């Protein structure tokens, strides 16, 4: 699951222009029992084992632009073709980024010290030295450090900017530092519960010419204290590869259902370069693939067409889903009924998060129709222990859909965030620990998955997918509010 702070801001801004969600209208109750009985945790785990083997045979990962991703895409394609779907490999070019050697950040004077650090995705290359200069740190958060060119007034060329996370995107901070003549930028984590949490960010895309690295809040506080007390010299080394590569989205259309009402059911197929990506996001991929196969096996006749989508290059900034939405024609955009997104469904210290479609518990509502999708999940999960709202923050592949007004919803079992006492009391697990302590690391393997989470969230995903495919009634209270309303009247093909 991607954590692109630079994209979150943009997508939130886009989403804020959407008309507030209308009150949820009724969606038909659909009996999904047979499908839920067919979609099992064992079936999902079977796919996970194959994805693990693919990673093992291809350098330990399944990242876009690598042989591991290609093998993953071929596996999904073959399974879907065998099940009777019309499958397309949608090709696109993307900027491939890889750290060739470990990034380093060291204090060389007045005392020598090494800092745990990580280059931001799309950081510039370089081995540089310079004096640390703290830029506009704030005691109260959120911080605007580095967000304005004026923050760098009097900044000495060749110094290394020490910035604080907050308010604007990392790309803006880096661009302002580079424009001011900084040799490199160090961004300190802020606003997180764990002061030791290393900041692992992205610049959103190529274009930054200087090294940009992250620090934890604790390490950053030590560096800032030293730089405030006197002159501190730093050495930064970033060695990366950046080049254009080709990858694919795997798209599979159901043989039944009206193409004028297409429900896109998606999960990102790629891992990071750091590990096999079995929870993130093999679990989402395996659940969606198992749902697709079992619906075909049961002969479910859809009223809405289902398009099962397995996105590439999500971990570099939602690039696959962005490409998909951007290339839709006006007609195809109007015909896209909704998006369901499943990104991490098996976190070992899991919580049943549901995207907050109506914005009742988080800052931003989804486009009209999203509230009803949320209720579809929450109503199903309520007698099974309940759920917790998760905000539409642009951190997964629903982002490009809600940015153009397409209703969306989905499930999430938790990533690097920390489980609260209340969540542990409600759902079990361990308070004070991450939902997934192996997030974006080599230990995200088949041993890093809760089969209980797969069983509960797999059932919820199957229920929502079949309900959205079979419902006769639209989920907009007032169809005039839906920009694609005209597409909803076409009769379904081969639908009972």
Domain coordinates of the chain in residue numbers? 5-85+254-489, 101-241
**101-241: which CATH architecture?**
3-Layer(bba) Sandwich (3.50)
Those residues whose C-beta lies under 8 Å from the C-beta of residue 75, and which sit 6 or more positions away, are 50, 51, 54
Taking residue 150's Cβ as centre, other Cβ atoms within 10 Å add up to 8
The whole-number pLDDT of residue 475 equals 66
* Rounded Cα–Cα distance for residues 259 and 107 (Å): 60
The whole-number pLDDT of residue 474 equals 72
* Rounded Cα–Cα distance for residues 109 and 329 (Å): 58
The whole-number pLDDT of residue 405 equals 95
The whole-number pLDDT of residue 1 equals 58
Q: Phi-psi region for residue 412, left (φ > 0), alpha (ψ -120 to 50) or beta?
A: beta
| Residue 437 token pair | 């302590």
b vs e for 448-467, b when ≥16 Cβ sit within 10 Å of the residue's Cβ? bbbeebbbbbbbbbbbbbbb
Among the listed residues 70, 178, 293, 314, the single catalytic one is 314
Handedness of CA 248, 199, 457, 429 (dihedral sign): positive
* Rounded Cα–Cα distance for residues 485 and 46 (Å): 40
Backbone angles phi, psi at 354, to 5 degrees: -125, 130
Residue 361 class from Cβ within 10 Å (0-12 exposed, 13-18 middle, 19+ buried)?
A: exposed
The whole-number pLDDT of residue 23 equals 38
3-state helix, strand, coil in the chain (%, to 5): 35, 25, 40
Cα torsion through 200, 205, 209, 212, rounded to 10: -10
End-to-end CA separation in angstroms for the chain = 37
The whole-number pLDDT of residue 18 equals 37
* Rounded Cα–Cα distance for residues 430 and 414 (Å): 13
| Residue 133 token pair | 């200069």
Coil, helix or strand at residue 391:
coil
Q: Omega of the bond prior to 142 within 30 degrees of 0, cis?
A: yes
What's this model's pTM, rounded to 2 decimal places?
A: 0.87
CA distances from 441 to 51, 252, 487 (A): 16, 30, 44
Assigned fold of 5-85+254-489: Aminopeptidase (3.40.630)
pLDDT mean values, one per 10 residues, the chain (496 residues): 41 37 59 98 98 98 98 98 98 96 96 95 96 92 94 97 95 97 96 87 93 96 93 97 97 97 98 97 98 98 97 96 98 96 98 96 92 96 97 92 96 95 97 96 98 98 97 62 37 33
CA distances from 218 to 13, 16, 116, 188 (A): 31, 34, 11, 9
Measuring CA to CA, which residue among 137, 483, 84, 76 is closest to residue 289?
A: 76
| Residue 31 token pair | 């009996």
Residue 423 designated active-site: no
Backbone angles phi, psi at 242, to 5 degrees: -135, 120
Report the interhelical angle of 5-15 vs 170-179 (nearest 10°).
120
């Amino acid at each position: 699951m991607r954590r692109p702070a630079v994209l979150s801001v943009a997508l939130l801004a886009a989403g804020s222009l959407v008309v507030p969600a209308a009150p949820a209208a009724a969606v038909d109750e659909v009996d999904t029992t047979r499908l839920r009985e067919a979609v099992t945790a064992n079936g999902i785990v079977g796919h996970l084992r194959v994805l693990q083997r693919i990673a093992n045979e291809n350098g330990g990962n399944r990242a876009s632009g690598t042989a591991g991703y290609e093998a993953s895409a071929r596996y999904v394609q073959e399974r879907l073709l065998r099940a009777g779907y019309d499958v397309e490999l949608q090709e696109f070019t993307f900027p491939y980024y890889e750290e060739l050697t470990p990034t380093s950040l060291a204090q060389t004077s007045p005392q020598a010290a090494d800092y745990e650090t990580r280059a931001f995705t799309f950081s510039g290359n370089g081995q540089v030295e310079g004096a640390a200069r703290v830029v506009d740190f704030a005691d109260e958060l959120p911080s605007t450090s580095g967000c304005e060119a004026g923050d760098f007034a009097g900044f000495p060329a060749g110094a290394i900017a020490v910035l604080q996370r907050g308010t604007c995107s990392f790309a803006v901070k880096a661009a302002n530092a580079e424009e001011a003549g900084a040799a490199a930028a160090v961004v300190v984590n802020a606003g997180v519960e764990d002061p030791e949490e290393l900041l692992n960010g992205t610049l959103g895309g190529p274009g930054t010419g200087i090294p940009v690295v992250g620090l934890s809040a604790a390490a950053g506080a030590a560096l800032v204290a030293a730089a405030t007390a006197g002159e501190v010299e730093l050495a930064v080394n970033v060695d990366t590869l950046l080049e254009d590569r080709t990858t694919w989205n795997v798209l599979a259309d159901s043989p039944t259902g009206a193409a004028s009402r297409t429900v896109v059911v998606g999960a990102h197929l790629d891992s990071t370069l750091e590990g096999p990506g079995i929870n993130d996001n093999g679990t989402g991929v395996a659940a969606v693939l198992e749902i697709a196969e079992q619906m075909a096996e049961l002969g479910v006749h859809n009223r809405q067409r289902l398009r099962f989508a397995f996105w590439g290059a999500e971990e570099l900034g939602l690039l696959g889903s962005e490409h998909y939405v951007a290339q839709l024609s006006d007609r195809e955009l109007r015909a896209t009924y909704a998006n369901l997104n499943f990104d991490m469904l098996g976190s070992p210290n899991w919580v049943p998060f549901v995207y907050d479609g109506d914005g009742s518990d988080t800052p931003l509502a989804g486009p009209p129709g999203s509230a009803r999708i949320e209720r579809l999940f929450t109503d199903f999960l309520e007698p099974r222990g309940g759920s917790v709202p998760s905000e539409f923050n642009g951190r997964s592949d629903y982002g490009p859909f809600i940015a153009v007004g397409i209703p969306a919803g989905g499930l999430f079992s938790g990533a690097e965030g920390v489980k609260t006492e209340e969540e542990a009391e409600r759902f079990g697990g361990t308070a004070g620990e991450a939902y997934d302590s192996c997030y974006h690391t080599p230990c995200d393997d088949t041993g890093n998955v809760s089969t209980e989470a797969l069983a509960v969230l797999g059932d919820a995903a199957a229920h929502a997918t079949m309900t959205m495919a079979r419902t006769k009634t639209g989920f907009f209270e007032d169809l005039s509010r839906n920009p694609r309303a005209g597409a909803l009247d076409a009769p379904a093909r081969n639908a009972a």
